[in-house]
Chain A
Amino acid sequence: METLLQQIVNGLVVGSVYALVALGYTMVYGILGLINFAHGEVLMVGALTALQTVLLLMEVAPGLPPLLMLAVAVGVAVPVCMALGYLMERLAYRRLRGAPRLAPLITAIGLSFLLQTLAMIVWGRNYHTFPALISTEPLEPVAGVFVTPVQIAIVVISALLMAALVLLVNRSRLGRAMRATAENPRVAALMGVDANAIIALTFIIGAGLAAVAGVMFASNYGIAHYAMGFMPGLKAFTAAVLGGIGNLAGAMLGGIVLGLVEAIGAGYIEELSFGLLNSSYQDIFAFVILGVVLIFRPTGLLGERVSDRA
């Protein structure tokens, strides 16, 4: 029972991060019908930019309180990633707007490799320690379950960001324009909406969320490196598909469900496989889910009709 509760807590934490990243996939898909496979790398750039900022601050202003340091680091990482998201759209995807679907897809994979390689050149191949600016020491266990302050911060901040995004999309004039553009960009233009600006903004918002997710990921595991975005990127994509790609609520639900399945699965994988596999095989769950969803329910948990627009 305690293992289960503990794994539920862990799953919620990881799931929150997946959900933030999944939102970026699903928003871009909703508006362009494009899977931006380079989105995971934005998470990595966010984490490493934050790390770089923290290291710099420790040098020039070592007396700064850790929380303030982290806030500044996020304050640098988010705009850097937003700029990166904008550039990806402006330089690569916009030119391929009318192209067959395969072209932007391959471009996305190419961008992913490009960003990883650039990050490797800048930050090297080694794993970097991400300082524990929010404590990763567990608090007093409640009902036998250990929770760390950083885990609480991750869940709370994710929830706040997701609530803010939902409000923006469903309640604001801008969000209305985003939804209108997603449904019919030509008619949206007739209303005075600059579809290019809306599409760029969608990339920018998604990248900002991924930057925060990157800092969360690095803070939770205490590690950052050039390839760290790849696996969470794929998992978040799986989460978006699981929830119903193109659907915001679906991305959030998919992220949380995937995080829970993965964590609970990791807790019991030894028993499930009669000792054959251990918890380092936990990635299996995400991809089994992806396969099962694609075969039996390609529209996902909350998915409507899959858009047939290229």
Chain B
Amino acid sequence: MHTNPAAPLLQVDDIRVAYGGIQALKGVSLELYAGEMVCLIGANGAGKTTTLNAIAGMLPLAGGRIAYAGDDIGALPAHRRVRRGIALVPEGRGIFTRLTVEENLRMGAYARDDADAIETDLDRVYTLLPRIRERLAQVAGTLSGGEQQMLAIGRALLSRPRLLLLDEPSMGLAPQVVEKIFEVVQTVRDDGVTVLLVEQNAHLALAFASRGYVMESGRITLSGSGRALLADPSVRAAYLGE
């Protein structure tokens, strides 16, 4: 597969999503270039999670286009998008609570058939997340919130994603835990994975991301570099509590 290096890895073009008669996305456009970490911020109900779910294939599009690595993937079901290299760590983490930690991780590699490389990747995840390694045989439902978030990220990495979608990794976690999680995300980005991050904590997200988009009631209302958005008076007023 030859892709033009100057073209974005992901191009979301004017997508619309409706459920239950409500227009959740009213034409969202954004793009991600390979190797970037971009964040999506906005109030509750602005459509951030819906945007990620639409990119991952969990929701049907009512309009618009999603191009990934040069292909239109808008009609592909979620289970086939993983095989293209798109991994979503869903809102609420989506841990299989009745499976063991190791089984959860191996589920992440379900779409792959390169058994040897999977073992190598498992080892890399163990190095990245030492807490997880200590708990492999444990039923995942018994992990703490922070450990579950780590596990969800590790599981997503086992699909060998090119594009990692993270939905509120800091939700409900203590500040020290959040810090650790962002360190992990940083490492993942440094390894060359493109990251799209949805965050309530705009401060944190904008500090880590190179660029950001601001969403409001189903639309992108603002975009720019992390620094520019941090300095923007309307962002400061709405999302940074000033």
Could you list which residues of chain A lie within 8 angstroms of chain B, going by C-beta atoms?
173, 176-177, 179-180, 183-184, 186-195
Point out the residues of chain B lying under 8 angstroms from A192, CB to CB. 79-80, 82-83, 110-111, 159
Interface membership of B98, Cβ < 8 A:
yes
Residues in chain B near residue A187, CB distance under 8 A = 90, 94, 96
Counted as pairs of residues, one from A and one from B, with CB atoms less than 8 Å apart, the total is 67
Q: Of all chain A residues, which has the CB nearest B165?
A: A190
Name the contact of A183 in the complex, choosing from B58, B80, B97, B159 (C-beta under 8 A): B97
Question: Contacts A191-B108, A192-B83 known; A186 to B99 CB distance under 8 Å?
Answer: no
CB of B98 within 8 A of CB of A190, answer no
Chain B residue nearest in CB terms to A192: B111
Complex Cα distance, B87 from A62, in Å, reads: 60
A176 touches B79 (CB 8 A): no
Q: Which residue of B lies closest to A175 (CB)?
A: B103
Q: Which of B70-110 contact A (CB under 8 A)?
A: 77-80, 82-83, 87-88, 90, 94, 96-99, 103, 106-108, 110
Q: Which residues of A contact B108 (CB under 8 A)?
A: 191
Given contacts A173-B110, A194-B79, A189 and B58 within 8 Å (CB-CB) = yes
Given A173-B110, A177-B107: A189 and B98 interface contact (C-beta under 8 Å): no
- A-B contacts, 22 listed (Cβ < 8 Å): A176-B106, A176-B110, A177-B110, A179-B96, A179-B103, A180-B96, A180-B103, A183-B98, A184-B94, A186-B58, A189-B57, A189-B78, A190-B56, A190-B87, A190-B88, A191-B108, A192-B79, A192-B80, A192-B110, A192-B159, A193-B79, A194-B79
B107 interface neighbour in A186, A191, A194, Cβ under 8 Å? A191
B110 touches A179 (CB 8 A): no
Hey, which chain B residues are within 8 Å of A188, CB to CB? 96, 107
When distances are taken between beta carbons in the complex, the residues of chain A under 8 Å from B77 are 189, 194
Whether A195 pairs with B96 at a CB distance below 8 angstroms is no
Least distance between B66 CB and chain A CB atoms (Å): 16
- In the complex, which residues 102-159 of chain B have their Cβ closer than 8 Å to any Cβ of chain A? 103, 106-108, 110-111, 155, 159
Which of B88, B90, B94, B110 is packed against the most chain A CB atoms within 10 Å? B110
A154 to B208 Cα, complex, angstroms: 64
* Pairs of residues from A and B, 3 with the lowest C-beta to C-beta distance, nearest first: A192-B111, A187-B94, A192-B82
B73 to chain A minimum Cβ distance, whole angstroms, is 14
With A187-B94, A187-B96, A190-B58 already in contact, 20 other A-B pairs whose C-beta atoms are closer than 8 Å: A176-B99, A176-B106, A177-B110, A179-B98, A179-B103, A180-B96, A180-B107, A183-B99, A184-B94, A186-B94, A187-B90, A188-B96, A189-B58, A190-B56, A191-B79, A191-B107, A191-B111, A191-B155, A192-B111, A193-B110
Query: A222 to B49, alpha carbons, bound, how many Å?
Result: 60
Nearest-Cβ distance from residue A116 to partner chain B, whole angstroms: 37
Chain B 201-240, CB-CB to A under 8 Å as 1, else 0, gives 0000000000000000000000000000000000000000
Find chain B residues with CB under 8 A from A177 CB.
107, 110
| CB closest residue in chain A, given B56 | A190
How near does chain B come to A306, taking the closest CB pair, in angstroms? Answer: 14
Kindly list chain B residues whose C-beta atoms are within 8 Å of the C-beta of A195. 79
Q: From B78, B98, B108, name the one whose CB has the most chain A CB atoms within 10 angstroms.
A: B78
Bound together, the chains give a CA A173 to CA B103 distance in angstroms of: 9
Write the chain A residue with the least CB distance to B104: A180
Report chain B residues within 8 Å CB of A194. Answer: 77, 79
Check A190 against B99 for contact (C-beta < 8 Å): no
Residues of A within 8 A of B97 (CB): 183
Residues of chain A within 8 A (CB-CB) of B90 are 186-187, 190
The answer on a CB contact under 8 Å between B110 and A191 is yes
A19 to B178, CA, bound (A): 48
